[in-house]
Each structure stands twice: as structure tokens, then as C-alpha cells.
Amino acid sequence: MDQFCSFPDIRPLCADLIFLFGGFDPKNLNETRIGVYLHFTPSTTSTWDLAHWAQLVNRGRFQRFDYGSSSRNRRHYNQSTAPDIPLEKIPPRAKIALYQGRNDVLSTEPNVQHLKEIFKKSGVELIRDFMVSDPKWTHLDFGFGENAGEYFINDMIDTLNEYAK
């Protein structure tokens, strides 16, 4: 795929493949790197993780992997359905920084708000709640965005340095 996407006339098609999964912001994507991105994507994850992610999106629940049958779920979880992941059990001593984009189709504002409510009820300290100022910032821009340093990485480094002491 990386060689295929290295052709200038093909790059827009390959960019569309990337945008399908993470949102659309063509000005922040270095098209000359698309072949590299597709060569290593989704190698940082497994097909199992992708199937689990699809379940989360399609069902709107933050749950363990659903094995597709009550008997298989029972074997893994001692119950017929996949249990929710208990975010409310995150230890109160945990310190969490959230970084989000306004055009993030994978981590929407209502989802992030719900997560913050869970943290608040659990006593988890939200040390940073950062919204990237670019209104078109997508989920993939956090990893592939040409302007990542300008928009959030410097802030993230400062936050890490502050709490690493």
C-alpha cells in the first residue's frame, strides 16, 4: 500500500481512506507521508482490537469484548453478555489529562463529557482538560497532524514535566 500511495495522483484516494477512520482535515495531513502512514497502519494494533473498537462504536457502550454468543461470553466473563468496563473504579489517586479536538469523530464532545462526569464521581483528578484550538482538528491529527507541536504537543510536554516531579 505504501508504494501504491506514493504516486501523486493516487495520494488523494489514500488520504480519503485515512479520513474515513479518523475525520477529515486535509490541510493538516502531509500527503507525501500517506504511503508511510498506511504502511504502518493498523500495525500498531491487532484485528482483535479493531473488532473491539467497532463493537464500542456500534453499541455505544464502553464494554469488554463481546465474543458473539452467550456461551462464549459466559466462558470468559461468567455471564452471557460482555460486561461494561468499570471506569468508575479508576483509583482516585490517578491524575488524568484529556486532549480533544472539535472535529474528532471517534471521541466526540458528548463522549468526553460523559467520561469527565465519571472521573468527577470517582474522585479522579483531571489535571488538564485541553481542547485543541483548531476547529477542524481530528482524532488522527493527534498522531499525524503536521501542526501537532503548535497545537498540543508543547502543552502536553509541559503538563508531563509539571507532574513528573
Asked if the model's pLDDT at residue 7 lies above 60, the reply is no
pLDDT of the residue at 97: 95
State the pTM of this model: 0.71
CA dihedral for 133, 50, 112, 123, sign (positive or negative): negative
Asked if the model's pLDDT at residue 47 lies above 80, the reply is no
* Through-space distance between the first and last CA atoms of the chain, rounded to whole angstroms: 44
- Give mean pLDDT, residues 25-49: 70
pLDDT of the residue at 86: 92
pLDDT tens readout for residues 105-149: 888 899 899 899 999 988 999 999 999 999 989 888 888 888 888
Best CA proximity match to 41, nearest among 65, 21, 58? 21
Where do the domains of the chain lie? Answer: 4-44+86-163
Q: In the structure, what pLDDT confidence band is assigned to residue 85 with cuts at 50, 70 and 90? A: very high
- Give mean pLDDT, residues 52-69: 88
